[in-house]
Chain A
């Protein structure tokens, strides 16, 4: 047995170089979803006062940028897509290793889920559901370093040892990503990868026009108190109370099924038992089912503003949490708030969908002129009429075949409407003193008396578009966008 010292050194150096290269490869190859969501959490853990916990309902509904903008309270959205209550519990336990929040808001959606293992679920789920459930758990877990807690979490949530491996060593699953690498994957090598600028929240900007309405349950007994979801909600409350953290349990507005409503009743019962507040937005009327949902289950950005403001008001009422606005150390939160506000502004000025644009224009960041030509199919579209009616107090939109004009001048706080042969004259707006006059089917006047040569509502090349939306700056009156739409039943194409 002969071995030289130099051979040992060379072998050790080779192993080190190999490990370094494999480690670098694993950084490039790993999915960036979890890092994207939680990178700021790790970097700002000592600044976070509130944690939002739950499923995708929370991700979309509770926006730390809004909470900061409105109340100066710092928070992080820890919600996970498809996160059932046991996953939420463990997410909280992991988060508490790194941060010391003063308040936790946990959503009770999916309280009725009564299975322990995400890779097993129950017989009502398909293999695709299981696969999806496992994939979604990666968003929750990938960011946490491997330690005893993470091993315990994986064993608690995943039954199959083979599947457990992919959570304990993510290279096991992500080495296959070589086909989909992008520039962001390589940026990760130097720690410059993209990050979520909404502190874990994700906004959706669509609009659910026809949310389902489901019957109320026959009784108020809830789920009976024995589901896995209920068990873990109790654990979450226990943990928070043990640590002296304020806790709010919520049910965030969605198109709730009868089962969801039973879960709401159960959450109420559990909260009563523990003496913690239950914020049932479903009954509070804070969020409008017809304008503030992106889809039956998730709020859109408008809904999130309302829901976050609602929660923020409750938290702020307690008076325990400091207002960090104006503190230079918290400038990133300020930037996040500005960035979010800017995204809403963009939707108001230039959304691709007329429904979306009308919905977001209710935010009043810009002023708007809406014109619908006589005979437009929009007049037979109840959802369109409802969105327009959000701006007005009159039912005019429901009783006209057009032409129809609506001017929402935010600076003056005035709303002007006209339909049929009605004219508008001497309308004082930021755009100028407007004069509106329908002339014939394809021709009408809308001009500022200061500049009568500019007819805002007539463009020969767009004469076959029956709907126009003009947005202008609240203060300067500068025209920001002029969108044309053509109606086909309740479908609208943008010109």
Chain B
């Protein structure tokens, strides 16, 4: 069962209504039952791997807590050993099982990071070990997040499971709107752009250069809409169930630097890497060289987490290099701004920075998407071949999307950008919609439902593609 499935659309209201009805103290059990059913429906064998992870995490955390009683914050040799063994086991399991060679375990990269983060929190004494195994099992397997995150922290989730908030009508509406936006991003934009991107990337060497460049930009929006769409559905579903999950995207393509991009893109992973890799390595507290090294390590880890192919490593390294260059060149950039008397807060300067940042991020996505480094270089080289006649000779529409469908994709992107600009300026769209009169609200909601059903890429003749981040 996937988010984009009839089964899920039936499961969700049942889950929400029962969750709404049963006494608060039993809700976590119901959520665990639903989460187990959801995951088992995807893959029974993978559920065994998850069960193993839960058992290891549960006992490791309890033992760490037990052996660290009375010891100082960093723990004793025994707690260190237990922590190290548990983390090594889980990382090894993640690397082994996510490849699918022995047994594919969907979502393993996400729930493993949750588990490791929880163990680290207990080890550092930031969190108490959870003694209710069902509660911990729910934390690891909570169905809205289990496939592709957000990678939540125990400190945020366990108290909510233990003391869930009241699910009121506003919360329901808010969650519903968030789910609708997620489906719109996924089905109307991401999966539509995917048709074009896949068609071009199948043989980029045979495509006109500008087509390849357009497909590359489209991929940037595809992966954003795909992943942000998933996250939006996950957050909306959790919200309907009375659980607040952290924001995972915050207008990332509005960022004015690559460092800012990473504060806005896949926030749950970025903050996880910061909290559990970058800061333990010393962060920026041990000098400039060490800071740069730590950045490189963090992005290498990020690259490896995304996949074992060399392309992911290059993608991670590119982002590290962008940031290093950004830091190193900062005095020079400041000087240029000063000499040219550029208004740093001016719209044009901010826009240029956003565009340049998007360009670099876009360039890196080529490595993320390409099946090999060679192919990535072909795509980059091709992208710089200028063939503007594609806009007039109609060849723009020869790559899987008709004129109308292409235009729907473009309208979707424009809508997305508009929403991101509003969000960037702290205008909360959902709140605005909920604040409208019932007629406007209904028109917007029903319009969104119809747009998703009619313009979405789903149904016969099309296999609803899995979310891209599901593979990690």
* Interfacial residues, chain A to chain B (CB-CB below 8 A): 1-4, 7, 10, 14, 17-18, 21-22, 25, 29, 162-163, 165-166, 171-173, 175-176, 178-179
Contacts and interface: CB of A to CB of B under 8 A. Distances in A.
B417 interface: no
A9 to B, nearest CB: 11
Contacts of B402: 179
B446 interface: yes
B358 to A, nearest CB: 30
Secondary structure type dominating chain A contacts: helix
B174 to A, nearest CB: 14
Given A1-B21, A2-B168, A29-B454, A175 B446 contact: no
Interface stretch (B143-151, B249-257, B455-463): B455-463
Interface string B438-452: 100010011001100
A14 B460 contact: no
A163 B460 contact: yes
15 contacts: A1-B21, A3-B169, A14-B442, A18-B445, A22-B449, A25-B453, A29-B454, A171-B453, A171-B459, A173-B461, A175-B456, A175-B458, A176-B459, A176-B461, A178-B404
Given A173-B461, A176-B459, A25 B442 contact: no
Contacts of B169: 3-4, 7
Secondary structure type dominating chain B contacts: helix
A11 to B, nearest CB: 8
A29 to B, nearest CB: 7
A172 B463 CA distance: 12
B169 to A, nearest CB: 5
B167 A178 contact: no
A178 B459 CA distance: 14
Contacts of B455: 178
Contacts of A29: 454
Interface of B: 20-21, 24, 166-169, 402, 404-405, 438, 442, 445-446, 449-450, 453-456, 458-462
Given A1-B21, A10-B438, A22-B453, A166 B459 contact: yes
Q: Which of B445, B449, B460 has the most C-beta atoms of chain A within 10 angstroms of its own C-beta?
A: B460
A7 B167 CA distance: 13
Contacts of B24: 1
Q: Which of A4, A7, A176 has the most C-beta atoms of chain B within 10 angstroms of its own C-beta?
A: A176
A21 B450 contact: yes
Nearest to B168: A2
Contacts of A4: 169
Nearest to B449: A18
Contacts of A163: 460
Contacts of A175: 453-454, 456, 458-459
Contacts of A165: 460
Nearest to B169: A7
Contacts of B20: 1, 3
Nearest to B19: A1
Contacts of A162: 460
A2 B168 CA distance: 6
A30 B454 CA distance: 11
B460 A21 contact: no
Counting from the closest, the 4 A-B pairs by CB-CB distance are A173-B460, A166-B460, A7-B169, A172-B459
B442 A17 contact: yes
B167 A21 contact: no
A173 B449 CA distance: 17
B61 to A, nearest CB: 32
A179 B460 contact: no
B404 A179 contact: yes
Contacts of B445: 14, 18
Contacts of A10: 438
A175 B464 CA distance: 14
B460 A18 contact: no
A5 B456 CA distance: 34
A478 to B, nearest CB: 49
B454 A17 contact: no
Nearest to B24: A1
Q: Which of B405, B438, B453, B458 has the most C-beta atoms of chain A within 10 angstroms of its own C-beta?
A: B453
A14 B168 CA distance: 17
Q: Which of B405, B450, B456, B459 has the most C-beta atoms of chain A within 10 angstroms of its own C-beta?
A: B459
Contact of B166 (A2, A18, A22): A2
Contacts of A176: 459, 461-462
Contacts of A7: 169
Contact of B446 (A18, A171, A178): A18
B446 A17 contact: yes
Contacts of B456: 175
A185 to B, nearest CB: 12
A30 to B, nearest CB: 12
A376 to B, nearest CB: 44
A25 to B, nearest CB: 6
B459 A173 contact: yes
Contacts of A173: 459-461
B410 to A, nearest CB: 15
A248 B434 CA distance: 66
Contact of A1 (B166, B454, B459, B460): B166
A22 B450 contact: yes
